[in-house]
Amino acid sequence: MPQTNFSDIESILMVYKPLGWTSFEVVKKIRCALKIKKIGHAGTLDPLATGLLLLCTGRQTKQISKLQELKKVYTGQIVLGKTTPSMDLETPFNSVSSYDHIHAEMVKEAAATFVGNIMQTPPIYSAVHIDGKRAYAMARQGQTPILQPRSIVIHSFVFTAINLPFISFELVCSKGTYVRSLAHDLGQKLGTGGYLHTLCRTQIGNYCLDQAYTIETLLTKFRS
C-alpha cells in the first residue's frame, strides 16, 4: 500500500467524504485551498453517502481510469416498506407498503439473486447523461427520464443485521453499481418498497477508509 507523500502534490489521496458534500465539492475545496491545477476523483459518492474518496493530483490523474475499475466495498442500511423517487432520502416518500409478510430468511434469499453479473437500471436521480442532459436535472424539472439497464457485478451482498424494516448490509461490487437501485430492487423482489437509508464506502481495491484523511486534516498536512 503506497504511503501518501505530502512533500509534493503528485499523489493518490485517500479522503473521507462527509455527509452532505458532493464529490465535486471535495475536489474543489482541496483544489482551491492548495492551488492545485490538476486534480480529480476516481469515483463519485452521492451527497447523502459518506466514506472513501480517492483524489488524484498532478501526473497521478492518469491513474483515475485504472482506479475506477477496482472493486468497491460499502456498508449501509436499507429500509423496507417505503420508496422515494431518488431511492434514498434526497426526496420525500412517495409510497408506503406492508412488510409484515417478510422474514429474515426471505431477505437473504432475495439478496442472493442479485449476486453475480446482473443488469441494473440507474435511478432517475443520477448523473447519467440522456441526450446531453443529466438525468437528475430532468427529474428535478418534473420529467421522467428513461434509463437503460447496465451490466454490473455484485461480488457479495451480505447482511450484518436484520431488524425489519431495517437491514444493515455489506456490499462488494463493481464500478457503475448504484446501491440505491439495489435497495429499491430488493424491496420490489420482496413484494414491498425499499430505499437506501445510509451508505458508507469503506474500501476501493486495497485503499481503505481507516487510512483516509478528513478534509481539514489533509489540508493541514499539506500546509505544514
Nine cell digits for residue 69: 475499475
Question: What is the chain's percent helix, strand, coil content, to nearest 5?
Answer: 25, 35, 40
Catalytic-residue membership of 46: yes
How far is Cα 204 from Cα 135, in angstroms, rounded to an integer? 26
Q: Which of 8, 46, 100, 131 is catalytic?
A: 46
Determine contact, residues 181/195, Cβ cutoff 8 Å: no
How far is Cα 164 from Cα 148, in angstroms, rounded to an integer? 31
Residue 119 carries which side chain, given as an amino acid letter? Answer: M
Determine contact, residues 177/151, Cβ cutoff 8 Å: no
Cα-based angle 119, 80, 116 (whole degrees, multiple of 5) = 25
Catalytic residues, which ones? 46
